[in-house]
Structure 1
């Protein structure tokens, strides 16, 4: 297990602020992000604009490539804080744990995927999907659950009304669609925008808009770590809230400039288009609070997908005290 964990953590290391010149009085925090995504703009803003540093935190950011691997890293103490879908904390809770994973600061509040059609459709109606081949996301993951929740809401049975393909790895979905698999695909950014700009597909709907507000991506940690380091978690949440307010107030161009260092291999105009799309549909949470109504909506989505054994208590797996203190401190 130890060697596996080391391999996981080494997948995509990005260490920022951990150089030898970092202030000695700063507290080091190891964040594991489930993937590298423009969807997580507030996190990158908190780093690039110095909000973590202002709070005395030295951030080491690692991309842990997948919810399971991110949870393995967190539970095995390979990282201190995870940025991942809040459903993962529910899965850990369902397995039984004396040290539950607790959500303490929300980053995104909608699903981040879009419906992409192979052909241009001027007047789209969800019923058009019936009888089509649909390239979906991995079973049990939040994108797939939000996708199926939306389809059912639109009167479509994913198992009966579609030829549903779910055996393609996340990283290979864009290539599979580009090579001819599927009439429609559920796809994250920036791949959706890239495919659209290249004329290989067309973004026709947003699963984020259709599935409603959810605590989709949240900073979380083990309860024991939070209890041992409440001041550090408070500083961390303060920085996140500063970044959220910055993102809410600044223009698409300014946000794009702030996150570009994390997407050096992506065309700047693509990044800008994705930031605009997510900002326009209000995917970025404007404060760190994990709202109970949104938490219940998340569980409704999981329940509809058959992935929820029993409802998880909001009070057990969510701690909003740090978010509330961050908001109050900002008013002073």
Structure 2
């Protein structure tokens, strides 16, 4: 009996020790995403496939709905890392922030919105937009700036040639379009496909195909967090890179099965079709490097929209060290 009791005690002590070691090796990361979208499929893959856990990270995801609220969460300490458009880091930098946000891992490399028409338009041409009632996105946000950039490239002045409405909150745009008298709207997936499936809209064009490569959504963190958590940021980037590789190597159907828990109200076939649409236009970055050409394209789009507050150098707000390290492993 004594031997049994002694063995039991040793086992319990060992398990407690092992649990303590595992706990000590796990770093908790609070991650804020600007919205919930299939556009961020690699992020959900990293969570569901356990790539963060493999790096010793416990990532808690929160959806903060909008660029302003996401950056507020990051800058106030409500989140350690944010997935949001790179333009937000430029806005913060221009305000002379002492602890501004650094872009360190790119997730998407094109615009992720699609032009949805109220009525079917199999022979759509961009000039069809002239004089239309157009439900736009938030002023100063990437969707709206890219939208304006594309329209201007097609000879359309969005503020002179359209009846442009921009006073609807991001989360309420799909409902407003479906119930209102708007003729066109700019939407992400799977919302665009859901409206199409319900007969309330029809996808007629892709802003991502028209605008070229830009650092559309990027993981960023404050300078101070990066300096104090260098190893954690590298591990986070490595997990994202694993997910990017997995997404590139697998079919839209397989990706949809993995990330389905994040889109429980959307049919699996529709998820797969939406993911395939993003894959076909190379929206998902295949590595976390945000290169200088993309950064300059971003600034050109912001400048064209009249929203570039300062000519922020690439080297000031972009850190590719982590991406380059994990890619060389």
Query: Normalized against structure 1, the TM-score is what?
Result: 0.91
Counterpart of 1:115?
A: 115
Name the counterpart of 1:264.
264
Aligned counterparts of 2:78 and 2:184: Cα–Cα separation in 1 = 38
SS at match of 1:46: helix
- When structure 1 is superposed on structure 2, of 268-277 and 108-117 the one drifting more is 268-277
Post-superposition offset of 1:22: 11
In structure 2, do the counterparts of structure 1 residues 236 and 199 end up closer, same or farther at CA, with 3 Å as the change threshold?
A: same
Deviation at 1:328, TM superposition (A): 0.5
In structure 2, distance between residues paired with 1:168 and 1:63: 19
Of 154-163 and 164-173, more deviation after overlay is shown by: 164-173
Question: Please, which moves more after superposition, 177-186 or 294-303?
Answer: 177-186
The aligned residue for residue 138 of structure 1 is 138
Bigger mean CA offset, 176-185 vs 246-255: 176-185
Give the match for residue 48 of structure 1.
48
After the TM superposition, which residues 1-332 of structure 1 pair with which residues of structure 2 at under 5 Å, given as runs? 23-24=22-23, 25-329=25-329
1:23 Cα deviation from its structure 2 partner: 3.9
Note the alpha carbon deviations across 1:201-220, whole angstroms, 9 max, x for none: 21010011111111000000
For residues 59 and 120 of structure 2, the distance between their equivalents in structure 1, rounded to whole angstroms, comes to 44
Deviation at 1:265, TM superposition (A): 2.4
Q: Deviations over 1:138-173 (max 9, x none)?
A: 111110000000000100001111111111111111
SS at match of 2:205: strand
Larger % of helix: which? 2
* In structure 2, distance between residues paired with 1:52 and 1:32: 15
Structure with higher Rg: it is: 2
What SS does the aligned partner of 2:152 have? helix
SS in 2 for 1:61: strand
Deviations 1:114-160 (A, max 9, x none): 00111211221111111111111111111000000000010000111
Q: Secondary structure at the match of 1:278?
A: helix
Cα distance between partner residues in 1 of 2:51 and 2:189: 26
* 1:164 counterpart SS class: strand
Q: Which runs of 5+ in 2 are unaligned?
A: 1-18
- Describe the SS at the equivalent of 1:269: helix
Q: CA offset at residue 258 of structure 1?
A: 1.1
Matched pairs, number: 310
Q: Larger deviation: 181-190 or 157-166?
A: 181-190
Is the contact between residue 135 and residue 181 of structure 1 (CA under 8 Å) also seen in structure 2?
no
Aligned CA RMSD, in angstroms, stands at 1.4
Distance (Å, rounded) in 1 between the aligned partners of 2:206 and 2:296:
21
Question: Is the 1:137–1:144 contact (alpha carbons within 8 Å) kept by the matching residues of 2?
Answer: yes
Q: Is the 8 A contact 2:91 2:309 kept in 1?
A: no
Partner secondary structure for residue 121 of structure 1: coil
Q: Which runs of 4+ in 1 moved over 3 A?
A: 20-23
Contact 1:22 1:58 survives alignment (8 Å): no
Contact 2:66 2:170 in 1 (8 A): no
Q: Structure 2: how far apart are the matches of 1:21 and 1:227?
A: 26
Tell me the equivalent position of 1:17.
none
Q: Equivalents in 1 of 2:281, 2:119: separation in Å?
A: 24
Tell me: CA distance 1:160–1:258, structure 2 relative to 1, closer, same or farther (3 Å). same
